[in-house]
Amino acid sequence: MPRRLALAAALVIVLASCSSTENAATVNGVAIRAVDLEQTVADFATVGETQIIAGAADGETVRGILTSLIRAQATLEVIADAGESVTDADRDAVRTQLQEQGTQDLPETLHDLIVELNAANAALQRIPAPTAEDVAASYARSPKSLGMLCLRHLVVEKESEARAALEELSDRPTDEEFATVAGRFSIEPNATTTGGALRGQTGECISINEYQAGFDPAFVGGALDAKAGVPTQPVKSAFGWHVIYVRPFTAVSDSVSASLAAAAGEYLLLGALASAEVNVASRYGRWNPLSGSVVTP
């Protein structure tokens, strides 16, 4: 691992050696202490990855580090929920790798962070895909919990047009019914052919982080809140008015299962972050679930 990547990877596991009771954030009620955040920032300054001027680091840097610490806690929860654990063998393997690369000039706390993160990543990769029954139940309860969204949508210029489309749909339309209505109403190119389906590189579902990185935030918010098989009320984005539809599990089960089989831990982590209750101390910013990051207040 190149040194810069190793340092970036260090931003995930919170140290437990300090005694401050002030929290920088909480994740599902579990605290990330301000002293641990500040220690990580100080370590990055020591190795030249950031600067501290007049006693403060750049706000964007601090928010990025805190985002990673929040991701860290979610990682540990996913590992525990799956019945996995970070082992001494995981840590020893990382220590050996880092020793071969030479890390003598790193602060001890930063070195320990690198070890813990990479060991946790190893445990995350061991998580098996949930059973078919568990996947179907999770999808029905909260589609985003699986770390991906399998959507159709229609987009029109006016809210009234979106509501007219909704009137053509039942409360729980079939996948085919929504596709037909999307083909009739949507101004999206090729909607008559695609039925408004949004496809990723690997199938009919797109990971949540791809939505966060590449889609309008208002659309992402509507999609994350949607229930399987139920069209949303009109959602306004920069592109028009959308009706968003999380496709029924029976229509996309093969794609969901294939994605989880390839990287269950990564998808479940995305789902955990999208579903987590995250609170950030106001002096650091606020948690934005639409971007999956800490942002300015």
CATH of 132-272, picked from 3.40.1190.20, 3.10.50.40, 3.40.50.150, 3.30.70.20, is 3.10.50.40
- Crossing angle between the packed helical segments 132-141 and 249-275, to the nearest 10 degrees: 70
Reported as a single tens digit per residue, the pLDDT across 65-83 is: 999 999 989 999 999 999 9
Q: Which CATH architecture has domain 3-127?
A: Orthogonal Bundle (1.10)
pLDDT tier at 21 (50, 70, 90 boundaries)? low
Q: Return the pLDDT at 12.
A: 39
CA distances from 142 to 130, 159, 257, 271, 273 (A): 15, 27, 16, 9, 13
What does the chain come to in residues?
Answer: 297
Task: Specify whether the CB–CB gap between 290 and 221 falls below 8 A.
Answer: yes
Domain spans in the chain, listed from the N-terminal domain onward = 3-127, 132-272
Reported as a single tens digit per residue, the pLDDT across 136-187 is: 999 999 999 999 999 999 999 999 999 999 999 999 999 999 999 999 999 9
DSSP state string for 214-267: HS-HHHHHHHHH--BT-PPPPEEETTEEEEEEEPPHHHHHHHHHHHHHHHHHHH
Distance CA 80, CA 212 (A): 26
Same-fold call for 3-127 versus 132-272: no
